[in-house]
């Protein structure tokens, strides 16, 4: 019988292989383990593939893999079923991400357009061949993995069937509640929460959480472990992946234009309205509000005037920006980006809620140009599925826009306005 699945072990070895279907989160887990253990990390996709999407000869791949396996310490990320056996023989720890087909399909869809370090290019469109491999993985690959687990005694084996199990195990491995909390400087922290993040800014007199993430109902308690200062909450907008911990606050700062969106997602508490030009002073750390509607009606940016930081919410990032569905308005989004350019001399770094951290201010102008190209019909979209809905991905080399299909340009009036 295979070992019991789930987070039942905290110790790991020095030679770790991570197996699982595409989209299961192998590379993400591998990078986290590298940060925790200091072990060298090898992504097999970077060994096999070249940047032009051709690959090396099988014999060369086998030679390089053999050299890696002879090293004393490593994490090897990648399924590559043809090489299961030599890796099983050489490793001391097997981690198998046996997630559902649906979860893996979601994984490969969500990473389209994202910058990656585990493969020498970025996927810019759905790959039918990869989708077929995902559909067949449990039939073609998983039985082989379980067979090798039974035939290779003495290995430390961890099997995870959900992303939550992985996160619980990582928290146990790290041995503290501060998992995914990173100190940026003496008075600033970022908290990573899956594909989203939020921030804690401390002044001389009080501290501010900026958003509360997607899976962090304990966000307030977490912040109170970091600082003893009185704590306030500022929300950049009210999409569900930014308000999971709001319920612990009696009141919060938010644009009043966002209240309908917030209440529609069962948002609780008293809204303290903030608008363009308002300043929330944390004590020698003034935070200026900038209205940037478009992604949502009441999206705001927060300008840290002393530290010269712009917290951009979802509007400035190098990932895929959601611009489909109710409340989204690409024209207002473009206008807001142009408005942000007026503040360019007042910040040196942009702290986004998604994508890479941080990003540089020049991304604002690039995003404005991309939005204008979409509105003017100068670029086309690739159909993708997001949360079970077919939308159009407009992909640029700096970011992506996920929009309603066939909306831009939607007709003569839209085309004329865009041009």
Q: How many helices (H) and strands (E) would you count in the chain?
A: 13, 21
pLDDT band at residue 12 under the 50/70/90 scheme: confident
Residue 126, SS3 per DSSP: coil
362 contact partners, CB below 8 Å, separation of at least 6: none
Q: In the predicted model, is pLDDT for residue 371 greater than 80?
A: yes
Given a cut of 80, whether residue 235 has pLDDT beyond it is yes
- Domain-ending residue, one of 156, 174, 192: 174
Q: If phi over 0 gives left and psi between -120 and 50 gives alpha, with beta otherwise, what is residue 142? A: alpha
CA 171 remoteness from chain centre = 18
Q: Are residues 83 and 116 in the same domain?
A: yes
Residue in the structure block whose two tokens are 């007709």: 411
82 and 109 inside one domain: yes
Nearest one of 250, 306, 260, 254 to 281, comparing CA atoms: 306
Mean pLDDT value of segment 163-186: 80
Quote the DSSP letter at residue 3: P
Query: Predicted confidence band at 409 (pLDDT cuts at 50, 70, 90)?
Result: low
Stretch 367-374: mean pLDDT? 97
Q: What is the total count of domains within the chain?
A: 2
Do the domain assignments include residue 198? yes
Supply the angle between the helices 128-140 and 101-110 in degrees, to the nearest 10. 150
| Domain extent for 211 | 182-366
Residue 98 is assigned to a structural domain of this protein: yes
Residue 174 clears pLDDT 70, i.e. is over it: no
Burial 169-185 (b: 16+ CB within 10 A, else e): bbbebeeeeebbbeebe
User: 232 with 262, same domain?
Assistant: yes
Q: Write down the residue that tokens 């989203």 correspond to.
A: 196
DSSP for residue 186? T
CATH number at residue 66: 3.40.50.300
What percent of the chain lies above the pLDDT cut of 70? Answer: 93
Residues 94 and 228 in one domain: no
Decide if 208 is inside a domain: yes
Quote the CA–CA distance of 78 and 91 in Å, as a whole number.
Answer: 14
Give the per-residue pLDDT at 2. Answer: 39
Beta strands in 156-314 (DSSP E): 156-160, 181-185, 188-193, 196-202, 207-210, 231-234, 251-254, 270-273, 279-281, 286-291, 300-304, 309-311
Instruction: Please check whether residues 271 and 160 belong to one and the same domain.
Output: no
Whether 113 is covered by a domain: the verdict is: yes
Q: Is residue 226 part of a domain?
A: yes
pLDDT tens-digit map of 113-123: 887 889 998 88
Q: 222 versus 295: which is more confidently predicted?
A: 295
Q: Can you give the pLDDT at residue 275?
A: 97
pLDDT score of 401: 97
- Round the average pLDDT of the chain to a whole number and report it: 90
Task: Verify that 21 and 167 share a domain, yes or no.
Answer: yes
Please list the residues that pair with 95 across neighbouring strands: 18, 158
For residues 356 and 219, state if they share a domain: yes
Q: Is residue 6 classed exposed, middle or buried when 0-12, 13-18 and 19+ CB atoms within 10 A define those classes?
A: middle
Q: How many Cβ atoms sit within 10 Å of the Cβ of residue 349?
A: 16
Overall average pLDDT of the 288-302 stretch: 98
Domain endpoint, select from 366, 395, 411: 366
418 has pLDDT over 70 = no
Indicate if 159 and 80 belong to the same structural domain.
yes
Same domain, 342 and 219: yes
Q: Which two tokens stand for residue 410?
A: 């939607």
CA–CA distance, 250 with 252 (Å, rounded to integer): 7
Can you tell me the mean pLDDT for 51-72?
A: 95
The encoded tokens of residue 401 equal: 């826009």
Considering the chain, what percentage of its residues have pLDDT values greater than 90?
Answer: 76
pLDDT in tens, 184-216: 888 999 999 989 999 999 999 999 999 999 989
Q: Is residue 160 part of a domain?
A: yes
Residues 151, 199, single domain; the answer is no
The domain that holds 337 is classified in CATH as: 3.60.15.10
Q: What's the rounded Cα separation, in Å, for the pair 405 and 381?
A: 8
What pairing do the DSSP bridges indicate for beta strands 15-20 and 188-193?
Answer: unpaired
pLDDT digits (tens, 9 = 90+) for 249-264: 999 999 999 999 999 9
Burial of 116 (0-12, 13-18, 19+ CB in 10 A): middle
| 134 and 50, same domain (yes or no) | yes
| pLDDT computed for residue 176 by the predictor | 53
Of 366, 391, 413, the one marking the end of a domain is 366
Identify the pLDDT of residue 412.
Answer: 34
32 within domain boundaries? yes
Residues 6 or more apart whose CB falls under 8 angstroms from that of 145 comprise: 19, 84, 96, 98
Give yes or no: residues 43 and 98 share one domain: yes
């Amino acid at each position: 019988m295979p070992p019991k699945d789930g987070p039942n072990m905290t110790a790991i070895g020095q030679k770790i292989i991570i197996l699982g279907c595409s989209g299961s989160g192998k590379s993400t887990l591998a990078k986290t383990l590298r940060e925790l253990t200091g072990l060298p990390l090898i992504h097999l996709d970077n060994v096999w593939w070249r940047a032009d999407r051709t690959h090396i000869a099988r014999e060369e791949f086998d030679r390089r893999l053999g050299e890696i396996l002879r090293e004393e310490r490593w994490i090897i990320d990648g399924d590559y079923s043809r090489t299961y056996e030599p890796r099983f023989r050489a490793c001391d720890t097997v981690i198998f991400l046996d997630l559902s087909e649906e979860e893996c399909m979601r994984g490969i869809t969500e990473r389209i357009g994202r910058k990656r370090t585990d493969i020498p290019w970025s996927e810019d469109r759905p790959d039918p061949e990869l989708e077929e491999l995902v559909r067949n993985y449990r039939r073609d690959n998983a039985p082989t993995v379980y067979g090798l687990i039974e035939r290779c005694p003495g290995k430390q084996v961890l099997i995870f069937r959900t992303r939550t199990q992985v996160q619980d195990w990582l928290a146990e491995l790290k041995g503290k509640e501060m998992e995914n909390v990173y100190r940026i400087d003496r008075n600033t922290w970022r908290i990573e929460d899956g594909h989203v993040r939020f921030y804690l800014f401390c002044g001389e007199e009080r501290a501010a959480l900026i958003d509360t993430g997607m899976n962090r109902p304990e966000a307030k308690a977490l912040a109170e472990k970091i600082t003893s200062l009185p704590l306030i909450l500022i929300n950049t907008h009210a999409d569900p992946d930014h308000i999971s911990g709001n319920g612990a606050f009696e009141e919060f700062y938010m644009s009043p234009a966002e209240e309908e969106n917030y209440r529609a997602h069962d948002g609780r508490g008293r809204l303290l309205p903030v608008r363009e030009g308002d300043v929330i002073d944390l004590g020698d750390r003034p935070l200026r509000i900038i209205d940037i509607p478009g992604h949502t009606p009441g999206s705001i940016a927060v300008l840290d005037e002393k530290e010269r930081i712009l917290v951009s919410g979802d509007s400035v990032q190098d990932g895929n920006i959601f611009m489909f569905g109710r409340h989204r308005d690409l024209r207002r989004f473009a206008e807001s980006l142009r408005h942000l350019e007026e503040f360019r001399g007042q910040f040196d770094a942009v702290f986004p809620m998604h994508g890479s951290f941080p990003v540089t201010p020049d991304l604002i102008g690039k995003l404005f140009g991309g939005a204008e190209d979409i509105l003017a019909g100068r670029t086309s979209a690739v159909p993708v599925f997001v949360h079970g809905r077919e939308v159009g991905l407009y992909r640029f080399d700096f970011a992506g826009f996920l929009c309603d299909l066939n909306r831009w340009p939607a007709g003569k009036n839209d085309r004329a306005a865009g041009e």
